[in-house]
Structure 1
Amino acid sequence: MSASKRQKSSKDVPYELIYWPSIPGRGEHVRLALEEAGATYTDTAHVKDGIQTVLGQIDEKNIGDAQNPPGLAPPLLKHGDLLISQTPNILLYLGPRLALVPSAEDDEDGIYKVNQLALTALDGLSNEPHDCHHPIASGLYYEDQKPESLSKSRDYVKNRLPKFLGYFERVLRGEASGQGPWLYGGRLTYADLVLFQCIDGVKFAFPKAMEESEKSGKYVKLFELYDAVKSRPRIKDYLTSERRQKYSNGIYRYYEELDVTG
């Protein structure tokens, strides 16, 4: 059976999200897509001994199987015989299946534009905030790099955060955004969910800077998108459920000494 045939036949199989327990992390973007679509899925974060599945996947002895190379780190998504990793790659796979990108018939290149927006949000509003508390090395404790973390955070809040908030405000004011609060094509896509989660995380890590940004009036449409996603019925239900992981020592962390303004 060809790979394309195998993937098409696995549509009705529940999705399996493989990710760490106790932190939202990069797996949260996948969860939001699955929750918004009302998809059936399992999550190792809520399965007894699910951590063993995560550790088994990233074990250095794991060399994958005949169809799938091993993943380096979670999140991973298992769907039938398919096993893939990397958050943007997983979302690229899920997008058409969960109707979170324009259909190829309506917009042949739309999926790549949605992916572009998601990647940009992850670059500047997920990866860079992580580097604020680990600017030297991810293998070191935060306590080992506190002075550098403060310098990085000050620069991020002053220069990088406004750059990315301003970019998405421009996108939302552009013609390609379409009607309504969404980033592309006048409809909700997974890029909107990614941006929501990124904004939510930065609000947790840098509440003073984000409050200042919102009150400035420079990013009205951006915060309208944030509120629009938050009020989606399935998202609203998810955010108040036990399935939603609380922020802790993951990508987004709150340290009072790093809570600076621009």
Structure 2
Amino acid sequence: MATTQAAKRQKSSKDVPYELIYWPGIPGRGEHVRLALEEAGASYTDSAHQKDGMNLVLSQIDAKNVGDASNPPPLAPPILKHGDLSISQTPNILLYLGPRLGLVPSAEEDEDAIYKVNGLALTALDGLSNGPHDCHHPVATSQYYEDQKPEAKRKSADYLANRLPKFLGYFERVLQGEASKGGKWLYGGKLTYADLVLYQCLDGVKFAFPKATARMEKEGKFGKVFDLYHAVQERPKIKEYLASERRQKYSDGIYRHYPELDEE
């Protein structure tokens, strides 16, 4: 029964565009999904650029939404719909898209690659996405930044001194390792979605902490990481996307620039 259902879903989803559902107005966690779709040249719709986009997001996370016979309701966006499949959570969506978009080695080529790539993506999201968010909201996400500025100052100072160098140093080691196969990309000598995740995370950190990241890049301790960042930026489809209106500007999302939280 399970095999029949899987085959049916794959058949019904084969030639339909992907549908990304995410908040309009911020890149956010949906940006990782967009970059994968853009790099692959995939056909997709994006609620962030639809007239009723906000209502679409709200309808998905409404307490009255209990899902359907095949899909439980999502807690929060990003949400990906593909045919009759509906899934949420950024790394989960990328786990689904990676093989379909050619952003991980094939199972025939390297049957365990997807788990290694996923581990790298999860690590980047942990230290370079969740971490920066906690810098401006260290006490409670339900409170305004202005209500926790002293704590945010302390949190950011620790992040810049300890956590950020730790994670950049980790990815520098990954790029120095044999599994990267050349040191340009994180795994297997080819671009994977983990590289795109690392790029987007570092781009957000650069926006939030421009002085600190400029200093770190100049010091050269994480040269391979910053080289990867610039290499992703120059990929033809990514470069075109970044210059387009589809790329939303940073604002009050995960990455926020408060000058007082950056280095003096």
Q: TM-score, normalised by structure 1?
A: 0.98
Is 1:242 matched with 2:242?
no
Q: Residue 117 of structure 2 aligns to a residue in which SS?
A: helix
**What is the Cα deviation at residue 179 of structure 1?**
2.2
The answer for the alignment partner of 1:6 in structure 2 is 8
* Cα offsets for 1:20-62 (capped at 9, x unmatched): 0000000000000000000000000001111111000000111
In the TM superposition, structure 1's runs of 4+ consecutive aligned residues that sit over 6 Å from their partners are none
Structure 1: stretches of 5+ with no match in the other structure: none
The answer for the alignment partner of 1:51 in structure 2 is 54
Alignment: residue pair count: 261
The answer for the alignment partner of 1:97 in structure 2 is 100
Q: TM-score, normalised by structure 2?
A: 0.97
The answer for the alignment partner of 1:37 in structure 2 is 40
CA distance in 2, matches of 1:5, 1:244: 35
Coordinate RMSD, CA, aligned: 0.9
The AA in structure 2 aligned to 1:120 is T
The answer for the alignment partner of 2:230 in structure 1 is 227
CA distance in 2, matches of 1:142, 1:210: 22
CA distance in 1, matches of 2:93, 2:5: 17
User: Conserved in 1, the CA contact under 8 Å of 2:183 and 2:224?
Assistant: no
Aligned ranges 1:123-142 → 2 under 5 Å: 123-142=126-145
CA distance in 1, matches of 2:179, 2:121: 15
The answer for the alignment partner of 1:187 in structure 2 is 190
**What is the Cα deviation at residue 180 of structure 1?**
5.0
Is 1:174 matched with 2:177?
yes
Tell me which of 128, 152, 156 is aligned to 1:153. Answer: 156
Aligned ranges 1:112-123 → 2 under 5 Å: 112-123=115-126
Q: Residue 170 of structure 1 aligns to a residue in which SS?
A: helix
Structure 2: stretches of 5+ with no match in the other structure: none
CA distance in 1, matches of 2:139, 2:206: 23
**What is the Cα deviation at residue 259 of structure 1?**
1.1
